[in-house]
Amino acid sequence: MKVGQILLGIALAAGIAAECYGQTARSFAIRVVDETVKGSQQGPPDDDLVPTAEGIDDPNKALWLKRDGQLGSEALADAYACIDLRAGKPVVQITLTPAAVTSFAELTRQNIARRIAIVVNGKVIVAPVVRQPILDGKIQIVGDQTVAQSQALAAEMLGVALSTPPPAPKPCPGSVPNYRRVG
């Protein structure tokens, strides 16, 4: 099984972690970005103008997102910070519920070469381009964020307060090289 990776091309700003530290999630959503609407132009009636979190490379500081086909908070089964040992970077690992896996696979299948947004507490935290269908319901947010930022973001997605001190992140599943003795 491949893990669908959503790569952040930019660093998550420290402001994201500061904004979410200790807060509880009001919402989590995965939505398609409407690329037909430019700038502050009025979007279609079935779109919402959603602000972007600090650190997102968007000149307008907001994106028009389609309501059709979105996945909501009920789609989120788990989110946690871990370390990708191959890249040596902290990652936020997201697992969708079994019921959401099929919907997300279809959403990514229908939106190859288009952007999808992950929205937490009313702000777009990442909006990458879908390169291939993500069929297993597992998403990784990989970028230049720190361990603390990754832990805070995962806690915010789940709507839980970050424990003090937070536990040390463990290696991400599948990131540990599998060494076998041959011969």
Q: Which of 59-68, 86-95, 101-110 has the lowest mean pLDDT?
A: 59-68
Q: Is the pLDDT of residue 183 over 70?
A: no
**Mean pLDDT, all residues of the chain:** 80
Q: Are 117 and 35 in contact (CB under 8 A)?
A: no
Measured distance CA(140)–CA(127) in Å, rounded: 13
Measured distance CA(96)–CA(79) in Å, rounded: 9
Measured distance CA(91)–CA(111) in Å, rounded: 24
Measuring CA to CA, how many Å separate 66 from each of 9, 16, 172? 23, 23, 32
Residue 101: predicted pLDDT = 96
Domains of the chain: 4-171 (3.30.1360.200)
Confidence at 182, pLDDT banded by 50, 70, 90: low
